[in-house]
Amino acid sequence: MEIDSKNFIKIFNKNFNYPIVKTKIGEGIKVDSRTAFLYSLVTGSGYLDNPLYPFTVKGLMKVFYNATDYKFVTGLFDNTTLKNTPYILSKAKPYLFSNNKIIIPVEFKTEIELQTKLKNFVQSETHPTDFLIQRIECSKKGNGMEPFMEYLACEVMKRQGYIVENQIPLTHSTGSPDFGGYSLSQDVPSFLCCIHLIELSLLRLGYEIENTNPDSKMWTIVGEAKTGTNEMKRQLDKYLNTHFFNEGFEIHPFKKEPASPYVGLVTIDDQMKLKVILKKENKKFSNEEQREYFKWLTNYIKYYLVANLTNDEFNNFYRRKTKELISSQNCIVKFVNGLEFKELLSEINRVMKNGTVK
C-alpha cells in the first residue's frame, strides 16, 4: 500500500481531525496558517503564488551545517544579517500568516501534467495563496512521500514531549537525518518542549507556546524515513554510532515491526492512525559525545529565539550588552551562546511590547 491522495486525506483527518473540504482540483485538508507554515517547512509543499514554482519555506531557515559546530549556513542568517526569519518573510509575503489554508494532495506522473493542473486551478481561484500543494509523484516508488512521513514523525513525537525537527544537522560523513527529537528540560526553560523547533521563531507573529509538564530526563532520538523501501537500519545505525542519540526510529507508513530490537518504529496502522513502537533493548555507549551534543543543542535553540528580532533590534541588543558593533559571525556566536534564556526571552517580550529600541 502507498500513500496516494485518498490515503493522505484519511491519514490527516484521522490523526489531526482537520476538516476535509472539496476544491476544484480535488479534496483537501483545511488548516490554520501556522500549521500550513510548518507543513510547508517540513514537506516542501508550496503555496500557489506561482503555478510553475509554488513558494515553499523548506530549507530557508537552517542555521548550522553540522552538529557541535557553529559554522553558519545561509538560512536564518546570511553572514551577520538575519535573513529568512518568519517575521521577515511575513513582511515580504503577507499571505503566509493570513487566512486558513487548504492542503491539497495532487497526483501526477510528469511535471508538465502537474503544471497544467495547477495553472488551470490558479486561474479559477480568487485567492490561490490560500492553497498548498502536496505533490504525489506517481512515477516514483513510494510516491515521493518521505517528507510527509517526516512531518508525521514530528507531530507524533511532539505529543511525547520532544522539541522536534526534520533534516537535522549532524556531520558531513553521516548526512542529515530525516528526523530528530530533543528532550532538554534540565538545560532549557520547562515550556520549551512539545514544539517544532521553528515554532520558537513565531513568537513575534503572535503565536504562543503552551505551558506543558515535560519529562525531566535528557534524551535525544533520531529517525530515518522511507516510503519506497523498507531498508532504513543501515543509515540509522550510522546516526546512532555518533553516540549523540539515545534511541533511533524507522519511519515508514506500513511497516509492521522494526528491523532490530535496538530501534523503534513510527508507522500507520490499518485504521490510518499513527502508531509508535518503542525499542525493546538499549545499546550502551559512553556519554561524553552526548554531553557535548546536549551543550550544542542548548545553544542551537537560542538562534531560533533570536529570529524573533529584526536586524535593527538584534544589533541594538548586541550593542547594549557588549558596547560594541557586530563585525563577524564569530561575534554573533559568542554573544548568542553566552545569553541566558531568561534575558533573551525578556528582550523578545520587550521589543514586542515597545517596538524597536534605538
Statement to judge: residues 29 and 46 lie in one domain: yes
Q: Is the pLDDT of residue 357 over 50?
A: no
What stretch of H or E contains 39?
A: helix 33-43
Q: How is residue 288 annotated by DSSP?
A: H
How does DSSP assign 296-317, residue by residue? HHHHHHHHHHHTTS-HHHHHHH
Of the chain, the percentage scoring pLDDT greater than 70 comes to 96
Residue 18 has pLDDT above 90, yes or no: yes
List, edge to edge, every strand of the sheet that includes 26-31.
Answer: 20-23, 26-31, 101-108, 131-137, 46-47
155 shares a domain with 137: no
pLDDT above 70 for 164 = yes
In a domain, 337, yes or no: no
| 193 vs 240: CA distance, rounded Å | 22
Q: Tell whether 134 and 19 lie within a shared domain.
A: yes
Name the domain count of the chain: 2
The reply to whether 235 and 172 lie within a common domain is yes
Q: Which residues contact 353 (CB under 8 A, 6 or more apart)?
A: none
The answer, yes or no, to whether residue 257 has pLDDT greater than 90, is yes
pLDDT score recorded for residue 213: 63
Residue 55 — φ and ψ, nearest 5°? Answer: -80, 130
- Residue 332 belongs to a domain: no
pLDDT digits (tens, 9 = 90+) for 102-135: 999 999 999 999 999 999 999 999 999 999 999 9
Q: What is the pLDDT of residues 281-316, one digit of tens each?
A: 776 666 888 999 999 999 999 999 999 999 999 999
Q: Over the stretch 61-85, which tens digit does the pLDDT of each residue have?
A: 999 999 999 999 999 999 999 999 9
Contact (Cβ atoms closer than 8 angstroms) between residue 212 and residue 256: no
Rounded Cα distance between 81 and 352, Å, is: 20
Residue type, 55: F
Q: Is residue 221 located within the same domain as residue 107?
A: no
The proportion of the chain whose per-residue pLDDT surpasses 90, expressed as a percent, equals: 86
> Are 134 and 203 contained in the same domain?
no
Enclosing H/E stretch for 348: helix 341-354
The pLDDT of residue 185 is: 77
Residues 267 and 216 in one domain: yes
pLDDT reported for residue 136: 98
Q: Are residues 272 and 155 in the same domain?
A: yes
Cβ-based neighbours of 231, under 8 Å, separated by 6 or more: none
Q: Is residue 348 one of the residues assigned to a domain?
A: no
Does residue 168 share a domain with residue 119?
no
Whether 168 maps to a domain, the answer reads yes
Single out the residue in 108, 123, 142 at which a domain terminates: 142
Q: How confident is the model at residue 234 (pLDDT cuts 50, 70, 90)?
A: very high
pLDDT-based confidence at residue 358 (cuts at 50, 70, 90): very low
Would you state the pLDDT for residue 207? 87
| pLDDT value, residue 355 | 63
Whether 228 maps to a domain, the answer reads yes
Last residue within a domain, chosen from 109, 142, 175: 142
The domain boundary, picked from 142, 170, 199, lies at 142
Specify whether 130 is located in the same domain as 29. yes
Structural domain of residue 238, as residue ranges?
148-277
Domain match, 212 and 244 both: yes
Q: Are residues 125 and 201 in the same domain?
A: no
